[in-house]
Amino acid sequence: MRRILVVDDDPHICRAIHAWLKRYGFRVSAAEGSSNGLAALDQSIFDLMVVDIFMPNMRGFESIRVFHERAPAVPLIAISGYAFAGAGPSGPDFLQMAIALGATRCLRKPFRPATLLAVIDECLSGVEPPRYFDTLASVADPFCEAGGQSKPVGGERLQAVTR
């Protein structure tokens, strides 16, 4: 069973991702904030990390850099509610910055459980056979649309950039 660390300063995001991933058979540790996430990382071994890009007590992309430095072999999915690309052509490309600092993939919040599962599958695909998330996605989307508590807020937004 794969172990995933979820780190976000928003407790609602932590609980939602924890519930989604646990439902699909992952062992999940959710940590609110960077200091709790780093403590969890020091105490356990994880197969994958889902880390918010912008958190209190860390400047800018520091969370991605620090988590990647602590566990460089562990795939890291960076998540953020901020737009990844600036409004104009000269604006900062947050997606490329997160990738340069060690993120394996990036997701913009809000995202659907099926999207997160597909990205996790891609990140872990070199380590284990595909988990056939097409099947899981067909189960997850109707569940979320049925009005359950794990219903995502908003549509699917997946950034298809890898390092």
Write down the pLDDT at residue 83: 60
Write down the pLDDT at residue 56: 86
Name the phi and psi angles at 115, rounded to 5: -65, -45
The domain at 3-85+93-159 falls in which architecture? Answer: 3-Layer(aba) Sandwich (3.40)
Give the up-direction half-sphere exposure of residue 95: CA atoms within 13 A in the CB hemisphere.
16
Give, in order, the Cα–Cα distances in Å from 143 to each of 47, 85, 111, 152, 159: 26, 31, 15, 10, 23
Write down the pLDDT at residue 147: 43
Write down the pLDDT at residue 130: 42
Q: What is the CA radius of gyration of the chain?
A: 15
The model's pTM: 0.74
Burial of 160 by CB count in 10 Å (0-12 exposed, 13-18 middle, 19+ buried)? exposed
Write down the pLDDT at residue 16: 96
Q: Write the single-letter amino acid at 160.
A: A
Instruction: Tell me which residue of 40, 61, 62 sits closest to 49, measured CA to CA.
Output: 40
Which residues in the chain show pLDDT less than 70?
60, 83-92, 126-163
Strands 105-108 and 158-159: antiparallel
Q: What is the secondary structure of 112-140 as a DSSP string?
A: -HHHHHHHHHHHHTTTS----HHHHHHHH
How many residues can be counted in the chain? 163
Spatial separation of the C-alpha atoms in residues 6 and 30, rounded to whole Å: 5
Q: Domain map of the chain by residue range?
A: 3-85+93-159
Write down the pLDDT at residue 92: 66
C-beta neighbour count of 2 within 10 angstroms: 17
CB 121 within 8 A of CB 87: no
